[in-house]
Homo-oligomer: A and B are copies of this chain.
Amino acid sequence: MTLHGCQIIAGRAVAAGPDTFLGRNPATGEATTPPVHEATSVEVDQALEAADAAFDDYRRLGAERIASFLEAVASEWMALGDDLLAQAHAETALPAARLTGERARMVNQARLFAALAREGSWVDARIDHGDPSRQPVPKPDVRRMLEPIGPVAVFGASNFPFAISVGGGDTVSALAAGCPVVAKAHPGHPGTSELLGRAIVSAAEKSGVPAGVFGMVQGRGHEVGLALVRHPLTRVVAFTGSQAGGRALFDAAAARPDPIPVCAEMGSTNPVFVLPGAMAERGAEIAEGYVQSVTLGTGQFCTNPGVLLAVEGPALVAFLDRVAAAAAAVAPSTMLNEGICRAFHGGLDRVRQTHGVRVLRESHARADRARAEAGCAIFTASLSTLEARPELWDEVFGPSSIVIVCPGADDLERAARRLHGHLTASIHATAAELESNRQLVAALERHVGRIVFNGFPTGIEVCAAMHHGGPWPATTDVRYTSIGTASIERFVRPVCYQGFPQPALPAELQDVNTRGIWRLVDGVRCR
């Protein structure tokens, strides 16, 4: 397939504007795509108009056809074959094995949401039958279910060109809900995004789904994204990226004449708490796991553990030796793009120059900046240094982390109480320690979205029980997840029908439960 570098609007390639940019291979600096056309405000408008026009027809296709469409999308993505992997590798330098795995996740997400749509209970149907004879006033017949919110603006992430981008969880969960999507491709992988977007168009054609249900716009700067968020027809925004980017979109959405919700996942430092017993029992194993988690995917995960807190003593000394050895052995690897690489090295400089911070060890091999490489860097600092310099909590996106040395085990809980919001926290402890540190768990419950026991936060299971979210600044809305089936909740709203005759009700709310979904009928859960 020859890339066109255009916007996708109602199934067609459109490029009206004069400005273009080039995708770049971070390892070589070479162009990876034909010139990519920066979307104009007219094109953003056209994409939203097409999405809005398609909305009513799309949402009323019914669950089975929406599910089949998502399955067709998954098939079209797989049919792109090695071309897709090669394009993504050229644009992101992510290794083939990682990309193959991430493609599987992307495809499985589409199928997971197809299954969710087909099963149908996500609409949370509730029926309260009326009672005309009730005194002093008759009881009305009231029914409600969740319905799609309308056109969704999806912002692809740099670090997951498949699973959290144009074809990622945001797009497929919005489509499963019955919402049209206008995706802003990440400028780090415009060609990959185009391939995925065109595959969605192809699936829509084959499935008889209105073409406007998916649109994609390209843009390098902030203008296109802000235009998407400010457009009157956009109903909700899903974003994964930096804190500055998420905040800018949030502020733009809040400043609208009619504010709309923004679900921005902005990453965090994901502290790991190691209790003394676990350190004594499994210090070496924790050291290996920690460095692996810090350096996985060149450290480019939202859930990367940027801070580890442990208690001083001989076990910690041995642990640090193992961490240092493991860190030294990490081979530098190419980051997603030159800008991220520059920001990473700037972050390292900032940490390195912080009074009280010591470099524990860096990768033995030197990172080749011409290839946008990053090596591993592990720092140490005391808890008092961390408390005096809270900017050490700021995320350094890449393969680095700081080990915080605490005077006593009580200090772990104290530190946990003072956390700001994170996506995750991890606790390494013996069973007895976990039992006797319930206050630590309680403190973490207030400040993070997911607590991992005797494990590491990277590697997110896509399932019903996953929560990938957390208090600000991890996300803009603590009540939502961006990964797992519950992420569909971002894109729906309740609609209530009072006194409606049966045939005029949506199938999900009629007395006869033809869909066979779980419902709450007069207070009883049943199907």
Q: Does A13 contact B (CB under 8 A)?
A: no
Q: Does A128 contact B (CB under 8 A)?
A: yes
Interface string of A143-155 (1 = CB under 8 A from B): 1100101100000
Which residues on B sit within 8 Å (CB–CB) of A451?
495-498, 500
List the number of copies, as a whole number.
Answer: 2
Q: Does A435 contact B (CB under 8 A)?
A: yes
CA distance A446 to B52 in the complex (A): 11
- In the complex, the answer to whether B498 meets A455 with C-beta atoms within 8 Å is yes
Interface string of A251-278 (1 = CB under 8 A from B): 1001100111100000000000000000
For window 423-482 of A, CB contacts with B under 8 Å fall at 431, 434-435, 438, 441-442, 445-446, 448-455, 459, 461, 463-467, 469, 471-473, 476-479, 481
Which residues on B sit within 8 Å (CB–CB) of A128?
461, 463-466
CA distance A442 to B136 in the complex (A): 33
- In the complex, the answer to whether A496 meets B478 with C-beta atoms within 8 Å is no
Interface size band for A = 35 or more
- In the complex, the answer to whether B503 meets A453 with C-beta atoms within 8 Å is no
A475 to chain B, nearest CB (A): 10
A428 to chain B, nearest CB (A): 11
13 A–B contacts from the bound complex (CB under 8 Å): A56-B446, A127-B465, A128-B461, A137-B459, A144-B465, A258-B420, A434-B501, A435-B503, A448-B495, A452-B499, A453-B500, A464-B520, A479-B489
CA distance A459 to B500 in the complex (A): 16
- Contact check: which of B486, B494, B497, B525 meets A494 at CB < 8 Å? B486
Q: Does A523 contact B (CB under 8 A)?
A: yes
CA distance A442 to B60 in the complex (A): 10
Task: Return the chain B residue nearest A473 by Cβ.
Answer: B258
For window 139-196 of A, CB contacts with B under 8 Å fall at 139-140, 142-144, 147, 149-150
- In the complex, the answer to whether B504 meets A434 with C-beta atoms within 8 Å is yes
Which residues on B sit within 8 Å (CB–CB) of A442?
56, 60
Q: Does A126 contact B (CB under 8 A)?
A: yes
Q: Does A239 contact B (CB under 8 A)?
A: no
- In the complex, the answer to whether B434 meets A523 with C-beta atoms within 8 Å is no
Which residues on B sit within 8 Å (CB–CB) of A149?
478-479
Q: Does A290 contact B (CB under 8 A)?
A: no
- In the complex, the answer to whether B454 meets A499 with C-beta atoms within 8 Å is yes
**Which residues from chain A sit less than 8 Å from chain B, CB to CB?**
55-56, 60, 101, 121, 126-128, 136-137, 139-140, 142-144, 147, 149-150, 235, 250-251, 254-255, 258-261, 420-421, 431, 434-435, 438, 441-442, 445-446, 448-455, 459, 461, 463-467, 469, 471-473, 476-479, 481, 486, 489, 492-501, 503-504, 518, 520, 523, 525
- In the complex, the answer to whether B479 meets A446 with C-beta atoms within 8 Å is no
Which residues on B sit within 8 Å (CB–CB) of A481?
494
CA distance A477 to B467 in the complex (A): 21
Given contacts A434-B504, A461-B142, contact A496 B466 (CB under 8 A): yes
CA distance A459 to B453 in the complex (A): 49
CA distance A445 to B492 in the complex (A): 12
Which residues on B sit within 8 Å (CB–CB) of A478?
149, 235, 261, 493
CA distance A101 to B137 in the complex (A): 11
Given contacts A121-B525, A493-B479, contact A499 B453 (CB under 8 A): yes
Task: Return the chain B residue nearest A437 by Cβ.
Answer: B504
A203 to chain B, nearest CB (A): 25
- Contact check: which of B150, B261, B452 meets A446 at CB < 8 Å? B150
- In the complex, the answer to whether A259 meets B476 with C-beta atoms within 8 Å is yes
Task: Return the chain B residue nearest A446 by Cβ.
Answer: B150
Given contacts A461-B128, A525-B518, contact A467 B450 (CB under 8 A): no
Task: Return the chain B residue nearest A101 by Cβ.
Answer: B136
Task: Return the chain B residue nearest A503 by Cβ.
Answer: B435
Which residues on B sit within 8 Å (CB–CB) of A464?
126, 128, 520, 523
Task: Return the chain B residue nearest A523 by Cβ.
Answer: B464
